[in-house]
């Protein structure tokens, strides 16, 4: 369930942490639409379960009372999943030399901090995603750390020009290398100003 939930909650099509005066603070909530849909489906399953258990039978042919408990289990699982998606919130705070990340979920809160000096570059990625039955390209600007768990997404948008502007602005603001990552050529990273190509890439 956690893997599916992650697929539905990232990335947001339009989200950004603006560079500028410190501290910079932004809160990110993804997947609100899909979370509400999952919760609505859960309510339908729970309604079926309540009706079946009250009647002592089952909408699912041949299962009897067990079908009612099966519906109850499915509805409860979906309800927990939907609530998890709806309550997920990430808050990012960037001070002069440290980044702080706080992730709130249904039953727990995690937080961590990392010195900005430990980051290697500002990476611009472009990825195809499917939304509303159509394929779109979402542009992501990441603050890249060698530990993937400490890599932080600062920007997400379908606007390529805006992505380029934010990429350059964050690289200047943090004094880090701007790195372009292209899925078609995963071993290539390019500097936007010098057009030099590096052979390293984020992992």
pLDDT, tens only, 16-66:
787 777 777 777 666 667 778 888 898 888 888 888 777 766 566 556 667
Whether 149 and 82 share a structural domain: no
Whether 63 and 159 share a structural domain: no
Q: Where are the beta strands (DSSP E) in 61-158?
A: 89-94, 98-104, 109-115, 121-131, 134-144, 152-157
Whether 39 and 100 share a structural domain: no
Residue 108 CA to residue 88 CA, distance in Å, equals 10
Whether 178 and 93 share a structural domain: yes
Whether 79 and 94 share a structural domain: no
pLDDT in tens, 7-26: 444 455 677 787 777 777 77
Range of the domain at 97: 2-31+88-198
Q: Does any domain span residue 203?
A: no
Q: Please, are residues 138 and 118 in contact by the beta-carbon 8 Å criterion? A: no
Structure tokens at 38: 């999952």
């Amino acid at each position: 369930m956690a893997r599916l939930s992650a697929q539905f909650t990232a990335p947001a099509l339009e989200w950004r942490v603006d560079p500028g005066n410190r501290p910079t603070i932004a809160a990110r909530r993804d997947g609100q639409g899909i979370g509400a849909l999952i919760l609505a489906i859960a309510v339908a399953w729970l309604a079926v379960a309540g009706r079946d258990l009250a009647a002592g039978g089952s909408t699912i042919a041949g299962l009897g009372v067990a079908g009612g408990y099966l519906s109850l289990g499915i509805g409860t699982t979906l309800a927990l999943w939907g609530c998890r998606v709806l309550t997920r919130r990430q808050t990012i705070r960037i001070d002069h030399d440290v980044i702080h990340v706080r992730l709130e979920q249904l039953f727990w809160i995690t937080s961590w901090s990392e010195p900005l000096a430990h980051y290697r570059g500002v990476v611009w990625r472009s990825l195809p995603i499917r939304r509303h039955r159509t394929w779109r390209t979402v542009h992501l600007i990441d603050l890249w750390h060698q530990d993937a768990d400490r890599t932080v997404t600062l920007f997400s948008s379908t606007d390529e020009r805006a992505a380029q502007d934010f990429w350059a602005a964050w690289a200047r603001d943090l004094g880090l290398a701007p790195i372009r990552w292209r899925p078609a050529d995963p071993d290539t990273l390019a500097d936007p100003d010098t057009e030099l190509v590096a052979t390293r890439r984020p992992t």
